[in-house]
Structure 1
Amino acid sequence: MSNTIKERLSALRAEMQKLNIDAWYISGTDPHASEYLPARWQTRAFISGFTGSYGMVVVTQNEAALWTDSRYFLQAAEQLEGTGIEMMKLRVPDSVSPEEWLCDKLYAGSRVGMDAQTVSVAGFKSFERTLAKHDVELVETTDLLENIWTDRPLDLAEKVFEPGVEYAGVSRVEKQVNIAAELQKPGADYQVVSMLDELAWLYNLRGNDINYNPVFNGFGFIGKNESFLFVENSKVDAGLKATLENDGVQLKEYSEFYAFLATVSGKKILVDPSSLNYSAYSALVEQNELLEGTSVVSLQKARKNETEIAGFKEAMKKDGVALIEFLNWLKNSIGKKTVSEYEIGLKLREFRAKQDGFKGESFPPIVGYKSHGAIVHLSVGPDDALPVEAEGILLFDSGGQYLDGTTDITRTCALGEITGQQKTDFTIVLKGMIGLTNAKFPYGTKGCHLDILARRPMWEHGMNYGHGTGHGVGHFLNVHEGPMAIRQEYNENKIEPGHVLSNEPAFYREGLYGIRTENMMVCVEKEETEFGRFLGFDTLTLCPIDTTLIRVDLLSAEEIDWLNNYHKKVNAELKPLLSEEFHGFLDELTVGI
């Protein structure tokens, strides 16, 4: 493997020349549109040195650029320094997309290559349309990094496991029946299942192939009477294989997937263009009728059943206990011994690991002290972590994977002396979080319609944040889950009962501090009137909010009531589960304002 980023870029350009390619696009994901990636598919980090979870890279013969969003602007600028790769901003006004950038840089007749198994159908087609307007050709290539990444990691051979229907609530056989009924509506014979969390949910299986996500590498092909699971045979032991086959699941080798698709003909097949990779689409499109739409597996997975919601509530109690113990440790450590952001992240895991059914963290902990709090998706190691002292504010965003459910929580807390501005900013963010929590809305409402409830208090003060407000959360699955979301961008998927979402408005003063307060919540039925069904949210997260950072004069009576009632609930739910030594501390943290 070439040692420096510049050497890697040079080696890639040599591979491009062999194929007469003027530019090569790296999507930064894997054949399953994964956000968190197995080591083998850390292509973005390999070619650029940027380690954030979102971004794409374009390399031409003379230039290279990386695109990412506001979560990573500061981190990307730092990590790309000296590489010769330019940092480009996405999801901001006047941003230039990779394909637009290429049209500006390349001449008519140029050829742009990409590994189509790492690009979605929608992404490939959109890219192709834009390039075609400038007479630039998009071509499918092999994975060019395979030739230059000499010590590229292999896929893990971790075993697939079955948590049990007592956690899932619905058997895989029932899920097959439900999916078949949904496929009938558009007249589809089959659906390709390519996202790993959808696959894990559909077959009631979990794995350890990707850090933080309890999933395994595989593909599915499911229809009314047939169900095919493509997974490395070595990952499924004999007992589980027999159980799956008894449930009507036909097991095939992962490597056979594309060849299998090429044998399918004369069928109507549902494909989700936002997630299915273009190589799979190419294998099917000539001999079948492809119906494009949101994955029915994704839609069903997002609507949590009663067992899953009960599981989330259990996971939140465990998480809450761990966090009270952590906050107590924090209070007794800061100012008394040297503690770094990195060590705080380790402590968060340590306290969660004591809980029954803990299966790891749901994402790398984000611990930002003072100026680091303004780096939205900060990731620090032992060498670049700031020492944390008894002053200012600390932001920590973390979560756990439990057999019962997945958690994601952010709290911002005062460690000592704080400013009036910090209290004002914290309270305005809190008002946004409460505003979304208390939302009541008609059935059919989409996430973009609700997003303003979290932003309104900030907008009134000329403030804003650059990321979304809420994402779906999987049930002992991925911490970021679609297809719905609460953010400013339009998303056609409405918010429905059973959806479990984060609620995380925020505010960042670059170079000074960051503030984010995040709870998880579940969408529930509220009432039915002559004007239709009305929905709302119930909060799932159980952890105190730091009242020392609140300017009470900025809160309405309704907001104060919500906060006091929330703290009463946190106290009542967690106290019976905590050892007596923490009871007084919990009372302090949940006292009314």
Structure 2
Amino acid sequence: MSILKQIQESMKKNNVHYYIIPTNDYHQSEYVADFFKLREFVSGFNGSAGTLVIEQERAGLWTDSRYFLQAETQLPKEITLHKLGSDESSDFPAYITENIKAGQAIGFDAKCISTSLGKHLLGIAEKKNAKILLDVYFADELWKERQTLPKNTAYFLNDDITGENISSKIKYITDVMKEHKCHYTALTKLDDIAYLLNMRGTDVTYNPVFYSYVSIEFREDFNNYTVKLYIDDEKLQEDTKKYLSKNNIQILPYEKIYDEIKFIKNKNMLLDESALNFMLYTNIDDTNSIVDILSPITSKKAVKNDTELKNAIYYHKIDAVAVIKLIHYVKTNIKKIDMSEISVSDKLEEFRRQCDKCVDLSFDTISGYKDHGAIVHYSATEETNYKLEPKSILLLDSGAQYLGATTDITRSISLGTPTDTEKFDFTTVLKGHLALSNAVFPENTTGSQLDTIAKEPIWRENLNFFHGTGHGVGAFLNVHEGPMRISGAYNNVGFKRGMVVSNEPGLYRAGHHGIRIENLVYTEFDKETEFGKFLKFIDLTLVPIDLDLVDVDLLNSQEKLWLNNYHKRVFDEISPFIEDKELKEFLKQQTRQI
């Protein structure tokens, strides 16, 4: 009997009608440790976003456009794919609302559900005269070879990497607590905690974070407060314990917060319900009042300080050398040696790790050749691994974690003589990329406003793409970082100087090829006038854009000027880091003026 069937049998026995298995861990993370990959265990789908909803006689998985093709390949026929954002599919809470009957039950592990979602599901149940169950673990009980929660070593960073000490960051959040007259807060997002404490870890692959919680509690007079870190003791070496003690951080067991939060009474609590798990929320005493706002640390860490920007600028140059080496390797060897999607990905990692400050990759490299490039978040396996040939396009989306910066870059690389369609598609995407790169906009303009700037040149050709145009990126932290983003979905977070975001329009023709051009950029002041402060984007990523794929006749004079200026900057700033004469000559050719 399949895992799915066994779960459905348990649901029938226990009178559970909707069993929700999200992607999340206890901290609502996008990327999670292997211990939390229950959805993948049950469904076979391993994308980083998606929710599985199992009913007694059927099951469905909800995911976004990045994963449509992947999910169609990986899901068994018993699980229906629901395409978020398409006309024919609503989200899974709406689906449950439409189908649930009085007396039925919705079950899930409340630690893996956000408070915002948990309250929404509770509202659905109350409206439909149904009920919710917070502790349903049918999938957990069947996963006999499940890994344990990671207990890897966490470590602290020096101020020359972070640019701000722990005391200053704690003062920032306590000042926000005073402003809102709140005596208690709990930080639950792993990257928020790592940022606040100037610490990093290796509990989640590619994300330098560690499983933990932090609480801060004021006394009634707001003069004194206590900071507690809830973490498995074995994660901390003696020097880290001394560092925490020196900064007056108390250390308690990881799970202890669930008990301790029960004893907070008659307090105003500053909490981010989008990040707080629902089990913690249900443990809060009713005498407390909750001020639900976006975590102040999430907003603060999105604006990089001068040290973080300086590190980003430097390590993007180091990263550029590795990517240029890879492009040279592929283009010069395409007719000489056997190469594949996986071997090229491995070679790029090898080039990156030649820098001793490269800690890890920042995500699993997307190496998609020909039609695999049209699978937005494709992941090559031994079974799907294409051999590269001297034709078509290789889409390579990759990044690294350096001791001070996080990189993310996509290049579409021509491996032969491109077709007219390939050049047209690439140049159209390039025009969208250049439009956003050239944008000048008022401070506090939102990402949903900026999104149309990148998409207009693509829409003009009656083409489109359905993933976000840009996401925030951490400073030696998560490669996807909020709260800002550039996408058609509404977002009310305004851009400020120092924010780092991606610029990555794309175009995907299923069965043929995929194109994406991605640079990381940071926001800088352009000019202040009587109409306010205006911002612009400065490129962090300095890697040639493949001119073999550009149809110059489709570019206007401003676009040609930008491309020429960008490539001159790439050569001027990256060539001093390259000693090999052949590679430097290759870079010169790749950055030629058009």
Shift of 1:18: 4.6
SS of structure 2 residue aligned to 1:135: coil
- 1:570–1:590: 8 Å Cα contact kept in structure 2? yes
Three-state SS of the structure 2 residue aligned to 1:507 is strand
What aligned pairs does 1:403-422 form with structure 2 within 5 A after superposition? 403-422=403-422
Contact kept? 1:99, 1:131, Cα under 8 Å = no
2:113 maps to 119
**Equivalence map 1:37-116=2 (5 Å):** 37-82=32-77, 84-116=78-110
In the alignment, what sits opposite 1:446? 446
Hey, what's the Cα distance between the residues in 2 that align with 1:333 and 1:163?
41
Tell me if the contact between 2:183 and 2:217 (Cα under 8 Å) persists in the aligned partners: yes
Superimposed CA distance per residue, residues 498-533 of structure 1 (whole angstroms, 9 cap, x where no aligned partner):
110000000001110000000000011111111111
Distance (Å, rounded) in 1 between the aligned partners of 2:84 and 2:593: 42
Query: 5+ residue gaps in structure 2?
Result: 219-224
Per the alignment, residue 585 of structure 1 pairs with 586
Whether the aligned pair in 2 keeps the contact of 1:409 and 1:518 (CA below 8 Å) is yes
Partners of 1:131 and 1:350 in 2: CA distance: 52
> Within the alignment, does 1:8 sit opposite 2:12 as a pair?
no
- Are 2:194 and 1:193 aligned? no
- Structure 1 residue 576: Cα displacement: 0.8
Q: What secondary structure is seen at the aligned counterpart in 2 of 1:538?
A: strand
Q: CA offsets, 1:432-482, max 9 Å, x none?
A: 111111111112211100000110001111111011000000010100000
Partner of 2:123: 129
Distance in 2 (alpha carbons) for counterparts of 1:95 and 1:559: 39
Instruction: Indicate how the Cα distance of structure 1 residues 110 and 550 shifts in structure 2: closer, same or farther if over 3 A, else same.
Output: same
Which residue in 2 is equivalent to 1:477?
477
TM-score by length of 1: 0.97
Match of 1:3 in 2: none
Report which stretch shifted further, 458-467 or 190-199.
190-199
Larger deviation, residues 89-98 vs 397-406:
89-98
Does the CA-based 8 Å contact 1:179-1:296 persist in structure 2? Answer: yes
Name the CA distance, whole Å, in 1 between partners of 2:329 and 2:584.
Answer: 14
CA distance in 1, matches of 2:531, 2:97: 50
Show the counterpart of 1:345: 345
The corresponding residue for 1:169 is 163
In 2, Cα distance between equivalents of 1:555 and 1:401: 35
Partner of 1:531: 531
Whether contact under 8 Å (1:454, 1:469) holds in the other structure is yes
Once residues 376 and 247 of structure 2 are traced to their aligned partners in structure 1, the CA distance between those partners, rounded to angstroms, is 44
TM-aligned CA deviation for residue 127 of structure 1: 2.6
> Are 1:32 and 2:33 an aligned pair?
no
Given that 1:183 and 1:296 are in contact with CA atoms closer than 8 Å, whether structure 2 keeps it comes out as no
> Which residue of structure 1 lines up, in the alignment, with residue 174 of structure 2?
180
Counting only pairs closer than 5 Å after superposition, residues 332-371 of structure 1 correspond to structure 2 as: 332-371=332-371
The alignment partner of 2:349 has SS state of helix
Residue type at the aligned position of 1:176: I
Q: Give distance in 2, aligned partners of 1:42 and 1:287.
A: 36
How many angstroms apart in 2 are the aligned matches of 1:193 and 1:19? 35
Partner Cα distance (2:294, 2:301) in 1: 12
The AA in structure 2 aligned to 1:356 is: D
Residue 152 of structure 1 corresponds to 146
Alignment match of 1:219 (pick from 201, 213, 219): 213
Deviations 1:139-194 (A, max 9, x none): 31243333211221101221101232110010111110111122222222232111
CA deviations on 1:288-310 (whole Å, 9 max, x unpaired) are: 11101110010011110000000
CA contact (8 A) 1:168 1:204 kept: yes
Q: Secondary structure at the match of 2:463?
A: coil
SS of alignment partner, residue 528 of structure 2:
strand
- Distance in 2, matches of 1:312 and 1:115, equals 38
RMSD over aligned Cα, in angstroms? 1.4
Please show how residues 513-532 of structure 1 align to structure 2 within 5 Å. Answer: 513-532=513-532
- Where does residue 308 of structure 1 map in the other structure? 308
Per-residue deviation at 1:226? 2.1
**Counterparts of 2:217 and 2:485 in 1: how far apart (Å)?**
28
Amino acid at match of 1:21: V
Q: C-alpha separation between the residues in 1 aligned to 2:171 and 2:137? A: 38
Structure 2 length as normaliser, TM-score? Answer: 0.97
What letter is aligned with 2:68? F
Amino acid at match of 1:529: T
Q: Distance in 2 between matches of 1:510 and 1:135?
A: 44
In the TM superposition, what is the alpha-carbon distance from 1:35 to its structure 2 partner?
A: 1.1
| Deviation (angstroms), 1:259 | 0.7
Q: For residues 170-227 of structure 1, give each alpha carbon's deviation from its aligned partner in whole angstroms, at most 9, with x where no partner exists.
A: 0111110111122222222232111111111110000010111011001111256221
Change beyond 3 A, Cα 1:166–1:532: same
**Separation (CA, whole Å) in 2 of partners of 1:74 and 1:287:** 49
Aligned with 1:145: secondary structure?
helix
Equivalent residue number for residue 299 of structure 2: 299
Gaps of 5+ in 1: 1-5
Q: For residues 422-501 of structure 1, what are the structure 2 equivalents within 5 Å?
A: 422-501=422-501
Alignment length (residue pairs):
587
Letter in 1 for 2:564: N
Counterpart of 2:533, as a letter, is R
> Is 1:57–1:65's contact at 8 Å kept on the other side of the alignment?
yes
- More displaced 10-residue stretch of structure 1: 378-387 or 104-113: 104-113
Query: Could you tell me which amino acid in structure 2 is paired with residue 160 of structure 1?
Result: A
| 1:276-331 deviation line (CA, Å, top 9, x unaligned) | 11111112252311101110010011110000000101110110111111111112
* Aligned partner of residue 201 in structure 2, secondary structure: coil
Q: Deviation string for 1:58-89 (max 9, x for gaps)?
A: 1111111111111111111111134x111111
Counterpart AA for 2:445? T
For 1:592 and 1:437, the matched residues in 2 are separated by 19
How far 1:424 moved relative to its partner?
1.0
Does the 8 Å CA contact 2:391/2:415 hold for their aligned counterparts? yes
CA distance in 1, matches of 2:229, 2:86: 40
Distance 1:63 1:329 in 2: 49
- Range that drifts further, 304-313 or 92-101: 92-101
**Matched letter for residue 131 of structure 2:** E
Instruction: Note if contact 1:367-1:373 (Cα within 8 Å) is conserved in structure 2.
Output: yes
Q: Equivalent residue for 2:222? A: none
Moved over 4 A (4+): none
- In percent, how many aligned pairs have the same letter? 38
CA contact 2:368–2:378 (8 Å) conserved in 1: yes
CA contact (8 A) 2:65 2:84 kept: yes
Q: Distance in 2 between matches of 1:181 and 1:29?
A: 30
Aligned residue for 1:226, secondary structure, equals: strand
Contact (CA 8 Å) 1:314, 1:404: kept in 2 or not?
A: no
Q: CA deviation at 1:537?
A: 1.0
State whether structure 2 residue 549 is matched by structure 1 residue 554. Answer: no
Secondary structure (helix, strand or coil) at the match of 1:572 reads helix
| Residues 43 and 76 in structure 2, CA contact (< 8 A), matched pair in contact too | no
Q: CA deviation at 1:17?
A: 3.7
